[in-house]
């Protein structure tokens, strides 16, 4: 694993932290892996993948990265920030043109100096096609382009999460515990694929549950996750094969879809912030925490549990989400402004 080229974009190892007050509330030991903390572009899980992907891009002589996503995409924001930090050019092809305000990640994409191509409200398939057009256009002008797929979801990127599994395992053991279950938000799948590979390499039996937050965005979720896991295995642990039964995901906390409401999201935001001072966002991480809360209450969760905090907390400053969080929590609603 250490032979693959990697650029250190974080500068430190994100902590594994015991959440004592949430643990008491849920009557189960809960820890957090704080990948929401970091040194580049407001951090998050995409930075790990980019450490692998951008090192590879540079080894191929690329000077310009191109990727696509929604205007709210954490992956495009992280790509823009990482490109800025290492002096590569970055072009982002972004869909969904409402609302027109430059909120959240779109503001950050622009601040980090990415060239933005806003293509309106088109399908994900059409978005990928438009991105290919942009790649060809840039190549025709002599740019040396590296194309990152949506969500930076590649086998190479997923290897960073195999490494991360081993890192977190060592961290929790050093604190005298050991996790039985990992719960994380899951969309394009390299986080889940990589953690699952890390478990296989460690020959551990930890349950790893991917809480699907974008069920409708990607087709053939199990097939894609399996492909990512085995592509990653081929790169770092060719003796390992990941089987479909090694992967475990749930759509029970998806609610109305990607970025849309789901039961338990506001309680997750409420408990994490009030009891731990940790921010989770309504698009990704609050759905994973909602799963932990619900399964802990129904006693279908074996502890200690590691909540893998994949980042994205600044989505709460998107005016739509700010308003809905404020109005959903009585303790905020009752504050006189
Ligand atoms: C992208 C993202 C995920 C999902 O990661 P995948 O590896 O694409 O499944 C989870 N949480 C946050 C905050 C993300 O930005």
Residue 101 has a pLDDT of 76
Residue 217 has a pLDDT of 66
pLDDT grade, residue 100 (50/70/90)?
Answer: confident
Q: Is the pLDDT of residue 50 over 90?
A: yes
Shortest-distance atom of ligand 1 to CA 210: 9
For ligand 1, whether the C-beta of 151 sits within 6 Å is yes
For ligand 1, whether the C-beta of 152 sits within 6 Å is no
Domain that holds residue 54: 46-152
Q: Distance (Å, rounded) from C-alpha 306 to C-alpha 83?
A: 31
Residue 215 has a pLDDT of 74
Residue 197 has a pLDDT of 98
Residue 103 has a pLDDT of 72
Based on the domain organization, do 94 and 223 belong to the same domain? no
Based on the domain organization, do 164 and 305 belong to the same domain? yes
The last residue of a domain, from among 152, 179, 194: 152
Based on the domain organization, do 285 and 182 belong to the same domain? yes
Q: Distance (Å, rounded) from C-alpha 86 to C-alpha 172?
A: 32
For ligand 1, whether the C-beta of 310 sits within 6 Å is yes
Q: Is residue 142 part of a domain?
A: yes
pLDDT grade, residue 43 (50/70/90)?
Answer: confident
Q: Is the pLDDT of residue 124 over 90?
A: no
Residue 93 has a pLDDT of 97
Shortest-distance atom of ligand 1 to CA 189: 9
Ligand 1 centroid–CA 141 distance in Å is: 33
Q: Is residue 274 part of a domain?
A: yes
Q: Is the pLDDT of residue 42 over 90?
A: no
Query: Is the separation of the CB atoms in 191 and 310 below 8 Å?
Result: yes
Ligand 1 centroid–CA 185 distance in Å is: 6
Ligand 1 centroid–CA 334 distance in Å is: 33
Based on the domain organization, do 111 and 170 belong to the same domain? no
For ligand 1, whether the C-beta of 196 sits within 6 Å is no
- For the residues 7-20, what does the mean pLDDT come to? 95
The last residue of a domain, from among 94, 129, 152: 152
Residue 173 has a pLDDT of 93
Residue 58 has a pLDDT of 97
Based on the domain organization, do 285 and 160 belong to the same domain? yes
Q: In what helix (H) or strand (E) does residue 315 lie, and over which residues does it extend?
A: none
Q: Is 73 a catalytic residue?
A: yes
Strand partners for 181: 207, 305
- For the residues 175-204, what does the mean pLDDT come to? 96
Based on the domain organization, do 53 and 35 belong to the same domain? no
Based on the domain organization, do 148 and 159 belong to the same domain? no
Query: Is the separation of the CB atoms in 306 and 181 below 8 Å?
Result: yes
The strand pair at 16-18 and 30-34 is best described as antiparallel
Q: Distance (Å, rounded) from C-alpha 235 to C-alpha 162?
A: 11
Q: Among residues 138, 160, 156, 139, which one has the least CA distance to residue 148?
A: 156
Based on the domain organization, do 102 and 172 belong to the same domain? no
Residue 99 has a pLDDT of 65
pLDDT grade, residue 304 (50/70/90)?
Answer: very high
Segment among 33-42, 74-83, 232-241, 268-277 with least mean pLDDT: 33-42
Residue 220 has a pLDDT of 83
What proportion of the chain, given as a percentage, has pLDDT over 90? 84
Q: Distance (Å, rounded) from C-alpha 33 to C-alpha 37?
A: 9
Q: Is residue 236 part of a domain?
A: yes
Residue 191 has a pLDDT of 97
Based on the domain organization, do 220 and 128 belong to the same domain? no
Q: Is the pLDDT of residue 78 over 80?
A: yes
| Residue 203, domain CATH | 3.40.50.1100
Based on the domain organization, do 81 and 198 belong to the same domain? no
Q: Is residue 233 part of a domain?
A: yes
DSSP 21: H
Segment among 71-80, 82-91, 95-104 with least mean pLDDT: 95-104
The last residue of a domain, from among 104, 130, 152: 152
Based on the domain organization, do 141 and 87 belong to the same domain? yes
For ligand 1, whether the C-beta of 74 sits within 6 Å is yes
Q: Is residue 119 part of a domain?
A: yes
Q: Distance (Å, rounded) from C-alpha 92 to C-alpha 64?
A: 11
- For the residues 96-110, what does the mean pLDDT come to? 81
Q: Does residue 78 or residue 221 have the better pLDDT?
A: 78
Q: Is residue 256 part of a domain?
A: yes
Residues in the chain: 337
Tokens at 228, concatenated: 């990512």
Q: Phi and psi of 298, rounded to 5°?
A: -85, 0
Q: How far is CA 244 from the centre of its chain?
A: 21
Residue 129's contacts (CB-CB under 8 Å, 6 or more residues apart) are none
For ligand 1, whether the C-beta of 70 sits within 6 Å is no
Ligand 1 binding pocket mutation candidate from 312, 313, 314, 318 (most atoms within 8 A of CB) = 312
Q: Is residue 129 part of a domain?
A: yes
Q: Is residue 101 part of a domain?
A: yes
Q: Does residue 108 or residue 220 have the better pLDDT?
A: 108
Q: Where are the alpha helices (DSSP H) in 258-318?
A: 265-271, 285-297
Based on the domain organization, do 52 and 181 belong to the same domain? no
Domains: count for the chain:
2
Residue 28 has a pLDDT of 98
pLDDT tens digits, one per residue of 280-291: 999 999 999 999
């Amino acid at each position: 694993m250490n032979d693959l080229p990697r650029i250190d974009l974080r500068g430190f190892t994100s902590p594994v932290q015991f959440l004592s007050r949430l643990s008491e509330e849920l009557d189960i030991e809960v820890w957090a892996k704080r990948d929401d903390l970091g040194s580049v572009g407001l951090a998050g899980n995409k930075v790990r993948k980019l450490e692998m992907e951008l090192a590879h891009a540079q080894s191929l002589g690329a000077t310009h990265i191109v990727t696509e996503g929604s205007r709210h995409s954490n992956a495009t924001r992280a790509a823009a920030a990482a490109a800025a930090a290492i002096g590569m050019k970055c072009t982002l092809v972004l869909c969904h043109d409402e609302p027109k305000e430059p909120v959240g990640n779109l503001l950050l994409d622009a601040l980090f100096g990415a060239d933005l191509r806003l293509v309106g409200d088109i399908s994900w398939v059409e978005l990928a096609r438009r991105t290919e057009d942009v790649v060809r256009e840039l190549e025709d002008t002599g740019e040396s382009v590296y194309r990152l797929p949506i969500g930076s979801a590649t086998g190479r990127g997923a290897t960073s999460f195999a490494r991360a599994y081993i890192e977190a395992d060592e961290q929790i053991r050093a604190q005298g515990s050991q996790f039985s279950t990992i719960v994380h938000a899951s969309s394009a799948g390299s986080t889940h694929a990589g953690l699952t590979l890390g478990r296989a390499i460690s020959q551990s039996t930890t349950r790893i549950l991917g809480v699907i937050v974008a069920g409708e965005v990607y087709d053939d979720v199990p097939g894609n996750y399996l492909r990512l896991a085995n592509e990653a295995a081929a790169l770092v642990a060719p003796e390992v094969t990941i089987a479909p039964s090694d992967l475990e995901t749930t759509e029970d906390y998806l609610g109305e879809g990607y970025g849309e409401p789901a039961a338990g999201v506001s309680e997750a935001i409420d408990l994490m912030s009030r009891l731990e001072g940790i921010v989770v966002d309504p698009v990704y991480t609050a759905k994973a925490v909602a799963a932990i809360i619900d399964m802990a209450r129904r006693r279908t969760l074996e502890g200690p549990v590691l909540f893998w905090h994949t980042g994205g907390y600044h989505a709460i400053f998107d005016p739509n989400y700010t308003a809905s969080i404020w109005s959903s929590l009585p303790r905020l609603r009752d504050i006189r402004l």
